[in-house]
Amino acid sequence: MARKKILVTGGAGFIGGNFVQYMVNKYPQYDIYNLDLLTYAGDLTKHRNFEQKKNYHFIKVDIADRGKIMSVFKKEKFDYITHFAAESHVDRSITDPEIFVRTNVLGTQVLLDAAKQINIEKFVHVSTDEVYGELDFDPTTFFTEETPLQPNSPYSASKAASDLLVRAYHETYGLPVNITRCSNNYGPFHFPEKLIPLTISRVLNEEMVPVYGDGKNIRDWLHVIDHCAAIDLVLHKGIHGEVYNVGGHNERTNLEVVKTIINTLGKSEELIKFVADRLGHDKRYAIDPSKLENLGWKPTYSFETGIAQTINWYLDNKWWWEQIISGEYKEYFDKQYSLKAKVN
Ligand code: NAD
Ligand code: TYD
């Protein structure tokens, strides 16, 4: 196979970080370029086991910095771009939407402009099922690629805007793109502001676990390694201009997720604290993955096997998450949840 250059934006974050590791190991004949600003959500310690490898490279740049991005693209002629970099946390988008527009919308547009100037084979834009809005609790309804975009949070609105720009660059300039829309990921190196790693880390420290509203909202959980395999497939086999949904059939209420973690760790359900609901809290997400399955994707984890693997990973890798939950994170947590502690 020919030597290829792959740009992975956001490769110091949760999913991008797992994808970088997956690609570095699977394709020694490819050069993997991790481009990341290293915001609060990005760290390079997660790459310490392979950052010496010859096919791994790191570039610290802001995707919304047009001048710097253009210089990077002048120097390196990438064959593929997988675009993960984003502001990704819904709660943060509710308190501070502006950075979501800058990074997710403007940053994506800058990358599209840069990609347009070189002869790339594929630009994969990693998006979210949240752009479709919410489903009700009828278990027979699912998001398909044809579901209209109806984002409800500033985060999902910024992702929907970026999806539409990616689509427009395909229609207008013929850029070879794919858009993937995945459900909620979980697995190793998940930043502990999101439900699953927040619950695991807090239960291990015997601290209260905040559950929004009545805990009955439903998410469709996708193990990050199954997501990486999906992106790899779409990168190599996706039909230009197509959207692919990733995930499916691992739906759980938030309360079920939290109780599973508490029970697996042998702790008390009294750690659960119901707090004020998230503003505009989407009721349910659920994916119909048929289109991607027809392309050849098959997940390897059920929720049961995936959550067991993930809990074990957090038990074995305290060095990673303990460095995060002190300092700046602590300030974020206290601010976010002191507002919510009023109910109950
Ligand atoms: P994350 O927050 O863990 O990581 C984001 C990464 O992007 C970080 O390394 C951060 O430093 C980097 N970044 C942020 N702003 C940047 C900028 N201006 N320039 C360069 N780098 C910047 O996010 P994640 O959970 O890994 O999500 C990755 C992608 O997948 C995002 O596009 C997100 O919208 C999408 N997604 C995530 C989920 C999920 O469950 N986590 C679900 C659906 C879609
Ligand atoms: P989250 O992990 O933030 O992902 P997303 O908002 O992208 O789905 O939240 C998952 C679900 O868990 C969501 O319904 C909100 C809920 N949640 C809580 O109940 N408590 C929490 O502390 C957090 C962070 C989330």
Looking at the whole model, is its pTM more than 0.95? yes
Burial letters for 154-175: b for 16+ Cβ neighbours within 10 Å, e otherwise?
bbbbbbbbbbebbbebbeeeeb
Q: Could you identify the atom of ligand 2 that is nearest to the CA of residue 209?
A: 22
pLDDT at 338: 82
Q: Which of 186, 327, 325 is nearest to 258 (CA)?
A: 186
pLDDT on residue 340: 52
* pLDDT at position 1: 58
- pLDDT for res 342: 47
CA–CA dist 81, 78 (Å, integer): 7
Cβ 88 under 6 angstroms from ligand 1: yes
Nearest bound ligand to the CA of residue 212: 2
* Residue 4 structure tokens: 């290829």
Asked about 30 being catalytic, the answer comes back as no
At 189 the pLDDT is 98
Q: Within 6 Å (CB) of ligand 2, which residues are found? A: 90, 184, 194-195, 198, 210-212, 217, 219, 254, 278
- Give the pLDDT of residue 326: 85
CB-neighbour burial class of residue 131 (10 A; exposed 0-12, middle 13-18, buried 19+): buried
All structural domains of the chain:
4-186+222-246 (3.40.50.720)
> What averages of pLDDT result for each successive group of 10 residues across the chain (344 residues)?
90 98 96 98 96 96 98 97 98 98 98 96 98 97 98 98 98 98 98 98 98 98 98 98 97 98 98 97 98 98 98 98 92 83 46
**Which of 31, 62, 87, 129 is labelled catalytic?**
129
